[in-house]
């Protein structure tokens, strides 16, 4: 019974046809697995076995023959699901049940997917370790004393722990790719505009993008197929035709020009900050060699401004967040401080008590960088440097087709290591942030383990709307990588 | 230019966030640390660079002027901490 949820979506689909499995069979398998390992993983923010069982029965009645029929999917807690708890893992959204579905949820439901529940995350996606959730930190399935990465740490850990087959995350500065890397699974941030943001509770509106977290590249293509496309409900959604990404599962990189930025994996990227850089670079070099042997051409490139990406990101992202999070004021939904006697006092007490420390820190930083007298020095300056970073990518892509780097400077670190030093935590995202600032698509996929057995991730970045090339390169690597995969022991 | 506690209090007030004394002190320290790191941006000459506010170029999006049924009043209010007669209820604003 337990094994169905351990399968990839493509394998489970075959099994469903072969053995005429029902959604209820699969829901039971999910529940058994949940009972066995969730206590160790703590990847869910909201999961209810009774609700799941009813949902599965309904799904069996409807018998939808869509692309993801009966396939289990976990949804990050910042994506609205009608009448289901959606709290961004924040106390200020306690009890919130959206009156509508996000567009990606409508699409998943139309595809026949079995929605399991909501995954834990850093509060409002503010974090790189899943430790700022108002519930409890999620643990890394490969070593439960370590972080799963963040902010979509719950989604990545649940996929890695075989508690789900597929998951959705959101990526503002690496929140899909970095936890995917730390948990040994596949995660993609599509091009800005490829996937509708309607119903995604906004953090940084010019940076946010929803994307798949899956067990392999095949499933990434399958889930991307379902969630992509133009949506009139999101004015930043791109009205560009969506290809069939399954067609990109091609084992061939002959003649592909892979750009290796000289600035990555070097100490200069971090200025004078002491950031632990471990063995990830070694694994990436092995992967580069493999792709070269398969016929790819390796090109040295330079992205001279990416080392400024963390500064730009925390100014732009926090500025946008300070504006977006103004809506959480105790009036329309969630937590309200009931003791306050005036409106302003109610706002302050509600936000003071309802928001966690990292959320308050970022809102204050963003309010400061937007405030009169500092706007030019911080926000405007950051927007200009953002343009320089975008230009770096434009220049690089005139010399190569795809860019390859580590996803994260390090593998999963022990819990608590960076919680006291926000800047150190922010620097964890230094390799993933540039793609969000430029708006280009990027994917992280496993490329082996370090000496402690912790997963290492490699990242590909491509031109705007060239997810197809990301999938082809990632698929080719996946099909040819010689190292032995091991599931976490739970 | 280090930020002092009173600046943190002022900014928190703008953001309508009530902070404890300890939080004001802690955030002042941490923000100084973060802003000092961000000083690196001043190493770059950006005089002739256009600011980039969005990743993709965008124009106005117009939709057809067709009436659609909105969220019902009841659905819109169902998550409200306090409601009364079809409205969100808040503490008294006018004395």
Q: What would the mean pLDDT of A109-137 be, rounded to a whole number? A: 98
Spatial contact of A129 and A418, defined as CB atoms under 8 Å apart:
yes
- Where does the pLDDT of residue A458 fall: very low under 50, low under 70, confident under 90, or very high at 90 and above? very high
Of A314, A368, A422, nearest to B11 by CB-CB distance is A368
User: Which DSSP category does A210 fall into?
Assistant: E
**In the structure encoding, which two tokens stand for residue B24, read together?**
């004001």
Q: Tokens 């010689």 map to which residue?
A: A482
Q: Tokens 């963040």 map to which residue?
A: A150
State how far the Cα of B3 lies from the Cα of A180, in Å rounded to an integer.
37
Which residue from A81, A67, A61, A92 is spatially nearest to A16, judged by alpha carbons? A67
B56–A383: do the CB atoms touch at under 8 Å? no
- For residue B55, list chain A residues with Cβ-Cβ distance below 8 A: 192-193, 206-207, 390, 436-439
Cα torsion for A42, A47, A50, A52, to the nearest 10°?
A: -120
Q: What would the mean pLDDT of A224-247 be, rounded to a whole number? A: 96
Does A368 reach chain B within 8 Å, measured CB to CB?
Answer: yes
Alpha helices in A405-445 (DSSP H): 422-426, 433-438
> Which residues of chain A from 280 to 319 reach within 8 Å of chain B, CB to CB?
305, 308, 310-312, 314-315
Does A435 reach chain B within 8 Å, measured CB to CB?
Answer: no
Of A334, A347, A439, nearest to B16 by CB-CB distance is A347
pLDDT of residue A457: 96
- Across chain B, mean pLDDT equals 92
| Residue A237 annotated as catalytic | no
**In the structure encoding, which two tokens stand for residue A5, read together?**
């949820």
Convert the pLDDT of each residue in A19-66 to its tens digit. 999 999 999 999 999 999 999 999 999 999 999 999 999 999 998 889
- Across chain A, mean pLDDT equals 95
A314–B41: do the CB atoms touch at under 8 Å? no
| Residue A90 annotated as catalytic | no
Q: Would you say domain A2-248 falls under CATH 3.90.1300.10?
A: yes
- Where does the pLDDT of residue B56 fall: very low under 50, low under 70, confident under 90, or very high at 90 and above? confident
pLDDT of residue B92: 87
pLDDT of residue A154: 98
Q: What would the mean pLDDT of A268-275 be, rounded to a whole number? A: 62
State how far the Cα of A454 lies from the Cα of A488, in Å rounded to an integer.
9
Spatial contact of B18 and A349, defined as CB atoms under 8 Å apart:
yes
pLDDT above 70 covers a percentage of chain A that reads: 97
State how far the Cα of A311 lies from the Cα of B38, in Å rounded to an integer.
5
pLDDT of residue A2: 56
Within 8 A by CB and 6+ apart from A209, the residues are: A170, A171, A172, A189, A190, A191, A192, A194, A195, A197, A436
- Where does the pLDDT of residue A287 fall: very low under 50, low under 70, confident under 90, or very high at 90 and above? very high
pLDDT of residue A278: 58
CATH class of B1-43: mainly alpha
pTM for the structure as a whole:
0.97
The three-state secondary structure class of A470 is helix
| Residue A76 annotated as catalytic | yes
Convert the pLDDT of each residue in A128-150 to its tens digit. 999 999 999 999 999 999 999 99
Spatial contact of A148 and A416, defined as CB atoms under 8 Å apart:
no
Which residue from A67, A112, A64 is spatially nearest to A219, judged by alpha carbons? A67
Give the bridge partners for A405, in sequence order.
A459
Which residue from A234, A251, A128, A154 is spatially nearest to A190, judged by alpha carbons? A234
ipTM associated with this complex: 0.95
Of B19, B54, B79, nearest to A332 by CB-CB distance is B79
Q: Tokens 């070097």 map to which residue?
A: A266
pLDDT of residue B55: 83
Helices (H) and strands (E) in chain A, counts: 15, 11
Convert the pLDDT of each residue in B5-41 to its tens digit. 899 999 999 999 999 999 999 999 999 999 999 999 9
State how far the Cα of A416 lies from the Cα of A455, in Å rounded to an integer.
19
Q: What would the mean pLDDT of A296-308 be, rounded to a whole number? A: 96
Q: What would the mean pLDDT of A102-126 be, rounded to a whole number? A: 98
With a cut of 80, say whether residue A176 has pLDDT above it: yes
pLDDT of residue A21: 96
B16–A387: do the CB atoms touch at under 8 Å? no
pLDDT of residue A266: 62
Of B14, B20, B56, nearest to A439 by CB-CB distance is B56
- Where does the pLDDT of residue B61 fall: very low under 50, low under 70, confident under 90, or very high at 90 and above? confident
**In the structure encoding, which two tokens stand for residue A188, read together?**
């993609």
- For residue A87, list chain B residues with Cβ-Cβ distance below 8 A: none
State how far the Cα of A73 lies from the Cα of A215, in Å rounded to an integer.
12
């Amino acid at each position: 019974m337990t094994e169905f949820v351990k399968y990839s979506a493509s394998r489970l689909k075959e099994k469903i046809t072969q053995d005429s499995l029902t959604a209820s069979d699969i829901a039971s398998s999910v529940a058994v697995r949940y009972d066995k390992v969730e206590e160790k993983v703590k990847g869910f923010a909201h999961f209810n076995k009774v609700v799941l069982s009813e949902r599965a029965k309904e799904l069996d009645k409807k018998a939808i023959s869509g692309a993801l029929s009966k396939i289990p999917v976990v949804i990050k807690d910042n994506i609205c699901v009608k009448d289901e708890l959606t709290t961004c893992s924040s106390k200020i959204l306690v009890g919130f049940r959206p009156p509508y579905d996000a567009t990606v949820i409508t699409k998943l439901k139309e595809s026949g997917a079995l929605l399991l529940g909501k995954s834990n995350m850093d509060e409002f996606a503010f974090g790189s370790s899943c430790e700022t959730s108002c519930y409890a930190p999620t643990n890394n399935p490969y070593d439960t004393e370590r972080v799963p990465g963040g902010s979509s740490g719950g989604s990545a850990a649940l996929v890695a722990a075989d508690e789900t087959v597929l998951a959705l995350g959101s990526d503002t500065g690496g929140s899909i790719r970095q936890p995917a890397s730390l948990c040994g699974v596949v995660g993609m941030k599509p091009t800005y505009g490829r996937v509708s943001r309607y119903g995604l509770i906004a953090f940084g509106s010019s940076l946010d993008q929803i994307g798949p977290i899956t067990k392999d590249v095949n499933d990434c293509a399958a889930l991307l197929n379902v969630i992509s496309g133009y949506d009139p409900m999101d004015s930043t959604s791109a009205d560009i035709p969506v290809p069939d990404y399954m067609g990109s599962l091609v084992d061939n990189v002959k003649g592909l020009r892979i750009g290796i930025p000289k600035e990555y994996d070097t100490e200069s990227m971090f200025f004078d900050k002491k950031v632990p850089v471990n063995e990830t670079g070694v694994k990436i070099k092995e992967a580069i060699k493999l792709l070269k042997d398969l016929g790819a051409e390796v090109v040295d490139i330079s992205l001279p401004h990416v080392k400024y990406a963390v500064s730009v990101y925390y100014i732009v992202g926090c500025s946008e967040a300070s504006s977006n999070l103004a809506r959480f004021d105790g009036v329309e939904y969630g937590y309200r401080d009931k003791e306050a006697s005036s409106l302003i006092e109610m706002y302050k007490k509600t936000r003071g008590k309802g928001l966690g420390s990292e959320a308050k820190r970022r809102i204050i930083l963003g309010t400061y960088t937007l405030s009169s007298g500092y706007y030019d020095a911080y926000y405007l300056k950051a927007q200009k440097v953002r343009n320089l970073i975008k230009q770096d990518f434009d220049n690089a892509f005139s010399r190569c087709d795809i860019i390859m780097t580590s996803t994260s400077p390090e593998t999963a670190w022990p819990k608590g290591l960076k919680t006291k030093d926000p800047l150190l935590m922010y620097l964890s995202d230094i390799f993933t942030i540039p793609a969000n600032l430029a708006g280009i698509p990027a994917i992280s996929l496993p490329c082996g383990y370090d000496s402690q057995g912790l997963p290492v991730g490699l990242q590909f970045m491509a031109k705007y709307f060239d997810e197809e090339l990301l999938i082809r390169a990632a698929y080719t690597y996946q099909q040819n990588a010689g190292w032995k995969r091991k599931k976490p022991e739970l | 230019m280090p930020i002092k506690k009173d600046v943190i209090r002022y900014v928190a007030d703008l953001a309508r966030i009530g902070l404890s004394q300890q939080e004001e002190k802690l955030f002042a320290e941490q923000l100084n640390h973060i802003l000092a790191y961000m000083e690196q941006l001043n190493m770059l000459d950006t005089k002739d660079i256009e600011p980039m506010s969005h990743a993709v170029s965008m124009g106005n999006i117009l939709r057809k002027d067709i009436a659609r049924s909105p969220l019902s009043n009841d659905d819109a209010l169902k998550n409200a901490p306090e409601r009364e007669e079809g409205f969100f209820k808040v503490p008294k604003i006018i004395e």
